[in-house]
Chain A
Amino acid sequence: EVQLVESGGDLVQPGGSLRLSCAASGFTFSRYELNWVRQAPGKGLEWLSYISTSGSNTYYADSVRGRFTISRDNAKNSLYLQMHSLRAEDTALYYCAREEKMASDAFDLWGQGTVVTVSS
């Protein structure tokens, strides 16, 4: 089955760190660019970060640049998001999403999300 499965979400104190993972299956992982998107409770979608197929190119939203790091391991079919200096406003459901070049770079495959709660 073609799918993305996120994990690693947890309750963490402000200023803390967390590493999210996204495991891919059912498709050739190394051929796809990937993204992280989050959704705060009751809010809309916020794009966070992008990584190229090789991992050599990355981009970040202003809200997380310098605190979050995206990476991938093509040998393990996995995407990661390392998060540091977490704030209450980082509380959200975090999705990984695959970008499809043949569909105008639309996000054609999403995981189910993993919940990050930042609170003391």
Chain B
Amino acid sequence: DIQMTQSPSSLSASVGDRVTITCRASQSISSYLNWYQQKPGKAPKVLIYGASSLQSGVPSRFSGSGSGTDFTLTISSLQPEDSATYYCQQSYSTPRTFGQGTKVEIK
């Protein structure tokens, strides 16, 4: 099974800050990497698919990059509504493993 490791597990940043979350796969997954946002009491929502493609309706301050084993989710200018937990997920093979999550808080 492919293991997905996110870092950091949590972070606190101010409105307007640039925030970066990393995700590492235990083996190459090409660009089959997706990012999800989950707010308390809500289902996850896909933000980025295929490592760098922005899902329709998602603000352009979210971006993704990487390929192979190392990936990054960037929020270019953090907004109050971005307070959430973010998960990476590989869709290269089954099981479709998720990272452990990164909780983003607003200072």
Q: Residues on A close to B: CB < 8 A?
A: 35, 44-47, 50, 59, 61-62, 95, 99-100, 103-108, 110-113
Contact = CB atoms under 8 A, between A and B. Distances in A.
Given A103-B49, A113-B43, 7 more contacts: A44-B87, A45-B89, A47-B95, A95-B44, A106-B46, A107-B36, A108-B55
Name A's interface SS.
strand
A103 B43 contact: no
Contacts, number: 71
Interface of B: 1, 31-34, 36, 38, 43-46, 49-51, 53, 55, 85, 87, 89, 91, 94-101
B94 to A, nearest CB: 4
Contact of A103 (B36, B45, B50): B50
A47 B55 contact: no
B102 to A, nearest CB: 10
A45 B55 contact: no
Given A44-B101, A47-B96, A107 B44 contact: yes
